[in-house]
Structure 1
Amino acid sequence: MTSIARIEWFLVPPRWLFVRVETSDGVVGWGEASLEGFAEAVAGALEHIKDRLIGHDPDRIEDAWQMCHRLGFYRGGPVLMSAISGIDQALWDIKGQRLGVPVWQMLGGKVRDRVDVYAWIGGDRPADVAEAAARRKAQGFRAIKMNGTEDLGWLDSPSRLAEPVERLRLVRETGMDAGIDFHGRVHRPMARQLVHALEPLGPLFIEEPLTSEHPEAIAQLAGQTHVPLALGERLYSRWDFKRLFEMGAVDIIQPDLSHAGGISEVRRIAAMAEAYDVAVAPHCPLGPLALAACMQIAIATPNFVIQEMSLGIHYNRADADLATYLEDDSVFAIENGSVAALTGPGLGVRINEARVREAARDPHRWRNPAWRGPDGALREW
Structure 2
Amino acid sequence: MKIGRIETFLVPPRWLFVRVESEDGAVGWGEASLEGHAEAVEGAFEALRDRFLGYDPRRIEDIWQIAYRGGFYRGGPVLMSALSGLDQALWDLKGRVTGLPAWDMLGGRVRDKIRAYAWIGGDRPHEIAEAAAARKAQGFSAVKMNATAELDWLGTPRLFDDVVRRVEAAQGQGMDVGLDFHGRVHKPMAKQLAKMLEPLGLLFIEEPLLSENWEGLAQIAAITSTPIALGERLYSRWDFKSLLASATVDIIQPDLSHAGGLSECRRIAAMAEAADVAVAPHCPLGPLALASCLQLAGCTPNVAIQEISLGIHYNVGHDLLSFVTNPEVLATVDGFLAIPEGPGLGVDIDEAAVRAADRDRHRWRNPVWHNADGSFAEW
For the superposition of Structure 1 and Structure 2, which TM-score range results when normalised by the shorter chain?
over 0.9
* Cα distance between partner residues in 1 of 2:12 and 2:112: 32
Amino acid at match of 2:228: L
Answering whether residue 333 of structure 2 is matched by residue 340 of structure 1, we say no
Give the CA deviation at 1:333. Answer: 1.5
Distance in 2 (CA, whole Å) between partners of 1:22 and 1:223 is 50
TM-score by length of 1: 0.98
Percent identity over the alignment is 65
Q: Residue 375 of structure 1 aligns to which amino acid in structure 2?
A: D
Counterpart contact for 1:310–1:322, Cα < 8 Å? yes
Match of 2:364 in 1: 366
Give the drift of 1:198: 1.0
Aligned residues: 378
Structure 1 segment 78-93 matched on structure 2, within 5 A:
78-93=77-92
Which of 325, 328, 338 aligns to 1:327? It is: 325
Matched, 1:38 2:48: no
Structure 1 residue 126: Cα displacement: 7.0
Counterpart position of 2:55: 56
DSSP 3-state at the match of 1:179: strand
Q: Judging changes above 3 Å, is the alpha-carbon distance between structure 1 residues 341 and 49 closer, same or farther for their aligned structure 2 residues? A: same
Alpha-carbon shift at residue 220 of structure 1 (Å): 2.0
**AA of the residue aligned to 2:318:** A
Aligned equivalents of 1:45 and 1:119: distance in 2? 31
After TM superposition, which residue ranges in structure 1, 4 or more long, deviate above 6 angstroms? Answer: none
Matches within 5 A, 1:254-269: 254-269=253-268
CA–CA distance in structure 1, aligned partners of residues 61 and 106 of structure 2: 13
State the partner residue of 1:75.
74
CA positional deviation for 1:60: 0.5
Report the equivalent of 2:96. Answer: 97
Matches within 5 A, 1:110-125: 110-122=109-121
Q: Do structure 1's residue 353 and structure 2's residue 351 form an aligned pair? A: yes
Q: How far apart are 1:66 and its partner, in Å?
A: 0.8
Partner of 2:181: 182
Measured after TM superposition, the shift of residue 157 of structure 1 is 3.3
Per-residue deviation at 1:156?
A: 2.4
Q: SS at 1:223's partner residue?
A: helix
Three-state SS of the structure 2 residue aligned to 1:20 is strand
Q: Tell me if structure 2 keeps the 8 A contact 1:216–1:249.
A: no
Matched, 1:214 2:213: yes
Quote the residue 2:172 is aligned against: 173
Q: Secondary structure at the match of 1:376?
A: coil
> How far has the Cα of 1:154 moved from its partner?
1.3
Are the structure 2 counterparts of residues 179 and 126 from structure 1 closer, same or farther at C-alpha, using a change threshold of 3 Å? farther
Gapped regions of structure 1 (runs ≥ 5): none
**Secondary structure at the counterpart of residue 344 of structure 1:** coil
Residues 247-258 of structure 1 aligned to structure 2 (within 5 Å) = 247-258=246-257
**Letter in structure 2 aligned against 1:337:** G
> In structure 2, what is the Cα distance between the partners aligned to 1:140 and 1:169?
20
- Equivalent position of 1:376 in the other structure: 374
Q: Structure 2: how far apart are the matches of 1:157 and 1:15?
A: 37
Q: Distance in 1 between matches of 2:48 and 2:330?
A: 31
Q: Give the distance between the partners of 1:328 and 1:241, measured in 2 at CA.
A: 34
Query: In the alignment, residue 53 of structure 2 is paired with which amino acid?
Result: I
State the partner residue of 2:27. Answer: 28
Whether the 8 Å CA contact 1:184–1:209 is kept in 2: the answer is yes
Cα deviation digits, residues 316-370 of structure 1 (max 9, x gap): 02x3100000011100111110011101000000000000000000111100001
2:201 matched to which residue of 1?
A: 202
**Mapped partners of 2:221, 2:98: distance in 1:** 44
* Cα RMSD (Å): 0.9
Q: How far apart in 2 are the matches of 1:101 and 1:57? A: 18
Q: Secondary structure at the match of 1:69?
A: helix
